Amino acid sequence: MGEGQQGDQRMKKGNKAILNHVEDGRRIRLFKGASGEVVYAGEFEVDHNQPWFTERAQSTDGGPERTVIVFRLKEVIP
């Protein structure tokens, strides 16, 4: 657990990949929408000064509250 829709999130696997994307030579491409129309929002990077914080959120399907990681992203301007 820790990266899906239930259980406390941790800084491992996918979350760690987001945090370390620049060092790993990867880009973050953001899309808005989950079904129907999906729009490309551009390239983003994690804010170097304050990369992430945690907050409490409801688990999917009405499960118990959990701790989630929220990344602060900044748009990459070419």
pLDDT at 3: 64
Q: Report the alpha-carbon distance of residue 73 to residue 45 in Å, rounded.
A: 5
Mean pLDDT confidence for 44-68: 92
pTM (2 d.p.) = 0.83
pLDDT at 1: 45
Q: Report the alpha-carbon distance of residue 33 to residue 25 in Å, rounded.
A: 26
pLDDT at 61: 80
3-53 pLDDT, tens digit per residue, is 667 889 999 999 999 999 999 999 999 999 988 999 999 999 999 999 999
Which tokens is 19 given?
A: 């945090």
